[in-house]
Amino acid sequence: MKELQAIKGNVIFTKNFGKYEIIKNGYVVLLNNVIKGVYEVLPEELNNASVIDYGDKLIIPGFVDIHLHGPQFPNLGLGLDKELMPWLESYTFPEEEKYWDITYAKEVYTSLVRELWKNGTTRSCIFATVHLDSTKLLMDILNHSGLGAYVGKVNMDRNCPEFLREDTEKSIEDTENFIIEYGNKYELVKPIITPRFVPTCTTKLLRTLGDLAEKYKAPVQSHLSENKDEIEFVKLLHPEFENYASVYEDAGLLGKQPTIMAHCVLLEDEEIEMLKKNQVFVAHSPNSNSNLASGIAPIRKLINKGIPIGLASDISGGHSLSMCNIIVDSAQASKIKWLESGKKEAPLNTAELFYLATKGSGSFFGKVGSFEEGYEFDALVIDDSSLNSFKKLSIEERLQKFIYTGNPKNIIKRYVAGKVIEEPYR
C-alpha cells in the first residue's frame, strides 16, 4: 500500500550549487518515504496526504559528513599543536590501539553516534580501525540508531606501530569477510574499502584492495596530499610514481568505484586532472587542515574543475562534529584563500557551502541531500525562535543565522529516509 505524507513548513534547500530553493509555508510530499515533490500549495490529487505541520519552522536537508574517524572521538581537542605525522604517532595510533576491546569500543561508538544525531548529521563516511570485531560493532550501532553511513575497516601493514600493523594477507582476508558479511546486511549502513593512506599500506595491499573494490563494487575512501611531510614520505616510498595520486590509480583505488579522497590540500595540477577524470570526491576539512598546519585546500579551483566536493569534520584532526561549524570554518578559510590567490579564487558563500554540506556530500550516497523528486527524505526541522535578531528576517537569513549562531537544541526533528529518528542510546 502506498503511503502519502506531506511535511509542511518553511522549506529551504539547494538543488543547484549556490542557489537556494525556498518555499515559504510549503509542503514536501513523500510517497513511501521518497520525495514526490515540493509544493507551495498541495495539488488536488495530493489532498489525501496526511500532513505534519511544523508551522513557521525551517525544514532543511540533513547534513552529511563525508569524512571522519570514529575511534578518534575521545581525542577531540587534543594534540592539535602538532603537525599530521607527529600527531598520528603521539595521539591517534595509541588511541586506536584500544579498539581490540569491544567494551571500550561500544562505549565510544555509542557516544559518537549520539553526538552525530545531536548535531543533525544524518549520514556520514567513517574510518573505524584495523580491528574487525569493533568495526562490525560500529556498523551494528549505526544501524540501530537509524542513521545512514559508510564504515571502513582500516588497512595498515607498514609504517605504523607494531600494535596496529596488520599481516598483509590477514588484512585482506578480514576486509573481504567484512564486505561479504555486511555488504547487504543493512539498508542504510554499508562497508567501504579503507586503506588509511599510502604511507601505511604496501603496494600489494593497495592493489589487492583495488581488486576487492572492483570484485564487490565497493566504494573507497582514503587520504591524499594532506601535508607536506606526508607527501615527501610518499615520494621517498614510491619514486617510481609521478605523484601521490598515481599510487592510488595504479592500485585501482582512484575512481574505478565511487571514491572519496580526504583533504587534497597540496595537489599538483596533474593530480587535479586525475581527480576530475575519475570524478573522485574531495572531502574538505578546514578545521583539520588548520589544526594540523596542513594548509588551505583550493576548493574553489577544484569546483571550477568539476570535481565533486563534500564537507567533513575529520575528527579528531578536526575539533567539532558540527557541520554548521564546518560550514562557517570553510567560509573563513575560503576568504583567506581568496586573499592568497590575489583575489582570483572567489570565497565560498553560505548557499554554496550549504550545498556542499547537504547535496554535495549526500550525492556520494546517491539521491540524498536535496528535496528533489526521487530523493530520500533526510531532513532537519529547525526551531530558530530562540535566535533573537530584533528584526524580521528572510528564510535565507534565518538559515544563515542558525548556521552561524545556532546549536543542536534548535534541531527539533531529524528524518532519515523518511523516518523520524529519535535520540539513540539515551
The C-alpha atoms of residue 283 and residue 262 are separated, in whole angstroms, by 4
Determine the Cα–Cα distance for residues 177 and 163; give it in Å rounded to an integer.
Answer: 22
**pLDDT at residue 49, rounded to an integer:** 87
What is the pLDDT at residue 47?
85
> How much is the pLDDT for 2?
67
Profile the chain (426 residues) by mean pLDDT over runs of 10 residues.
Answer: 87 97 97 94 89 97 98 91 84 94 98 98 98 98 98 97 96 98 98 97 98 98 95 97 97 96 97 97 95 93 97 95 97 95 93 98 98 98 92 95 97 97 87
* Residue range of the domain that includes 392: 4-62+369-420
Q: Output the CA torsion sign for 399, 403, 405, 411.
A: positive
CA distance 202 to 194: 13
Antiparallel, parallel or unpaired: β 19-31 and 34-39: antiparallel
259-263 and 281-284 beta bridge pairing: parallel
| Grid cell digits, residue 170 | 590477514
List, as one string, the DSSP characters of 281-336.
EEEE-HHHHHHTT-----HHHHHHTT--EEE---BTTBS---HHHHHHHHHHHHHH
One domain for residues 361 and 384: no
Instruction: Output the CA angle 101-102-105, nearest 5 degrees.
Output: 90
C-alpha cell at 409: 537544541
Instruction: Please tell me the distance from the alpha carbon of residue 326 to that of residue 312, in angstroms, as a whole number.
Output: 7
Q: Are residues 49 and 92 in the same domain?
A: no
Both 82 and 230 in one domain: the answer is: yes
Residue 374 within a domain: yes
95 and 224 in a common domain: yes
Instruction: With respect to residue 302, please indicate whether it lies within any of the assigned structural domains.
Output: yes
Q: Are residues 341 and 384 in the same domain?
A: no
Here the cell at position 318 is: 578536526
Give a yes or no: residue 356 inside a domain: yes
119 and 236 inside one domain: yes
Q: Which pLDDT score is estimated for 1? A: 45
Q: Domain with 57 in it: what CATH number? A: 2.30.40.10
d(CA 47, CA 43): 7
Q: Is residue 385 situated within a structural domain?
A: yes
User: d(Cα 29, Cα 42) in Å, to the nearest integer?
Assistant: 9
**By the 8 A CB rule, do 415 and 375 touch?**
no
Residue 93 forms part of a structural domain: yes
Max CA distance (Å), the chain: 67
